[in-house]
């Protein structure tokens, strides 16, 4: 965000595709119905909590950017949101996180069993939506993304509590678990518009850069005061022993006594009340958060460049505003 200008945020994006997004929400509500009452209850909880609908917005806007005027992007945007929601449900199970987006997690309210199985249901519904679309090209993009996401989630699990995790491994994890779906959500927009491969790839590049920047900033926010303003607690990742880039940098730059501190806290999971504060000080000392944000800005620039082949216009501008916001929300 150049020159301290206030970020437009994602509101322009939401406004430009508001009609489409409302129809996506209709599809979501309709497709989570089931005679098994727990399914719409639990899925409704998590979809209602569902935040900004960033991923389906990307599909809608990408299709419009490519001049698409048909209907296929609506169910496919719902499909993308279902894949995301299923991942959240399964992530809640495994992370034993207590709060997400300021609401009780489905897991806390209904238990692990229900979260796993309703997640499976939403994932299956996502595939049914793709199959109904009928394009093998779309099916390949989204089924490949699903496999990459699952692989990334397992990889992340393996890096948990492991201070040996390096920046390369961290980036592999977030590319897989977060950026792959952003990239696929964008690419699908070009595919339904039947645009040349170059536009598919440009949108995929935009989505990937945005996704990585978004996740980097998310991981910074977990250690930052701005977090409180968002109604979230600070230090969840630290308390869970989750290894994100701020910690990777702090560990690699720490002296022996600092390394011992990190190992005690996130490998042995032996944490005392004052440890989070000390962790924040070490990150400050080694400039870790700012450096993560600089990395995020690099990826955002690459995402920005991805869109250069498209003509300027309100849709393109709204995507760039959303990109700016993904980084600027940390400030």
Point out which residues bind its own copies (CB under 8 A).
34, 36-39, 90, 93-94, 112-114, 116-118, 120-121, 123-125, 127-128, 130-131, 134, 136, 139-140, 143-144, 146-147, 149-151, 153-155, 157-158
Q: Which is nearer to its own copies, 20 or 95 (CB)?
A: 95
Number of Cβ within 10 Å of residue 18's Cβ equals 11
Query: Which residue, 120 or 305, is less far from its own copies as judged by CB?
Result: 120
Write out the H or E segment, with its range, that includes residue 99: strand 99-100
Compute the least distance from the CB of residue 129 to its own copies, in Å.
9
User: What is the smallest separation between the CB atom of 116 and its own copies, expressed in angstroms?
Assistant: 5
User: Which is nearer to its own copies, 144 or 167 (by Cβ)?
Assistant: 144
Residue whose CB is less far from its own copies, 131 or 309: 131
Q: How far is the CB of 115 from its own copies (least distance, A)?
A: 9
Closest distance to its own copies from the beta carbon of 166 (Å): 15
CA atoms within 13 A on the CB side of 13: 28
- Shortest distance (Å) from residue 314 CB to its own copies: 35
Cα distances from 47 to residues 40, 81, 132, in angstroms, run 10, 9, 22
Number of other CB atoms surrounding residue 49 within 10 Å:
16
What DSSP string runs through 205-270? HHHHHHHHHHHHHHHHHTTSTHHHHTT--S-HHHHHT---HHHHHHHHH--HHHHHHHIIIIIS--
For its own copies, the closer of residues 36 and 309 by Cβ is 36
CB of 9 to its own copies, least distance (A): 32
Let me know: does 238 contact 265? Beta carbons within 8 Å: yes
Contact 243, 160 (CB under 8 A): yes
Residue nearer to its own copies on the CB measure, 118 or 248: 118
- Written as six digits, the tokens of 234 are 């600070």
């Amino acid at each position: 965000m150049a020159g301290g200008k206030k970020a437009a945020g994602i509101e322009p994006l939401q406004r430009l595709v508001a009609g489409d997004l409302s129809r996506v929400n209709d599809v979501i509500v309709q497709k989570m119905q089931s005679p098994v009452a727990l399914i719409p209850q639990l899925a409704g909880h998590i979809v209602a909590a569902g935040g900004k609908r960033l991923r389906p917005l990307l599909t809608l806007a990408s299709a419009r950017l490519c001049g698409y005027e048909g209907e296929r992007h609506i169910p496919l945007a719902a499909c993308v949101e279902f894949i995301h929601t299923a991942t959240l449900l399964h992530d809640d199970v495994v992370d034993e996180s207590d709060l997400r987006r300021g609401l009780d997690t489905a897991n806390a309210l209904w238990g692990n069993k229900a979260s796993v199985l309703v997640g499976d249901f939403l994932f299956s519904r996502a595939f049914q939506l793709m199959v109904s679309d009928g394009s093998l090209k779309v099916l390949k993009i989204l089924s490949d993304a699903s496999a990459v996401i699952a692989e990334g989630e397992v990889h992340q699990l393996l890096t948990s509590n492991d201070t040996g995790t390096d920046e390369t491994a961290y980036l592999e994890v977030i590319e897989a678990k977060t950026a792959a779906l952003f990239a696929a959500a964008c690419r699908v927009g070009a595919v339904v518009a039947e645009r040349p491969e170059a536009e598919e790839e440009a949108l995929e590049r935009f989505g990937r850069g945005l996704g990585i920047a978004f996740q980097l900033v998310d991981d910074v926010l977990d250690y930052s005061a701005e977090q409180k303003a968002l109604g979230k607690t600070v230090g969840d990742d630290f308390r869970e022993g989750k290894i994100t880039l701020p910690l990777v940098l702090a560990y690699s730059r720490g002296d022996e006594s600092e390394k011992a501190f990190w190992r005690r806290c996130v490998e042995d999971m032996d944490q005392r009340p004052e440890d989070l504060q000390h962790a924040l000080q070490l990150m400050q000392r080694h400039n870790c958060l700012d450096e993560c944000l600089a990395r995020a800005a690099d990826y955002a620039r690459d995402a920005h460049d991805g869109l250069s082949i498209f003509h300027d216009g309100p849709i393109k501008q709204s995507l760039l505003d959303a990109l700016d916001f993904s980084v600027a929300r940390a400030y």
